[in-house]
Amino acid sequence: MKNHQKIIRADLYNRVEDDIHTGDVETSGASILAASFTGGNRWYSKGYKNAMAIVRAKGKPDLFITMTLDVNCQEVKD
């Protein structure tokens, strides 16, 4: 992704757009990450929008359930 920054759309990023206009792109340190990059701003935004679409279609959730597991457990490995 580092080598393809010009291909990735950056029109929503005001800071990057301002740096381009002032010619300060090399020192800005800004990187644009695709939505497929886990943990990036676009990834979180996409997840939020998907969650809100589910709420809009199905209604508010009644329960919030989390689960944990031991990835080293033999049952999980099998």
CA pair distance 19, 26, nearest whole angstrom = 9
Span 41-69, average pLDDT: 91
Structural domains in the chain (count):
1
pTM across the whole model? 0.46
3-state percent breakdown (helix, strand, coil) of the chain, nearest 5: 50, 0, 50
Average pLDDT rounded to a whole number, residues 54-73 = 90
- Write the DSSP symbol of residue 3: G
DSSP annotation of 11 reads T
Q: Is the pLDDT of residue 44 over 70?
A: yes
What's the domain range around 41? 2-77
Quick one: average pLDDT of 35-54? 89
Mean pLDDT computed over every residue of the chain: 78
CB atoms near residue 32 (< 10 Å):
19
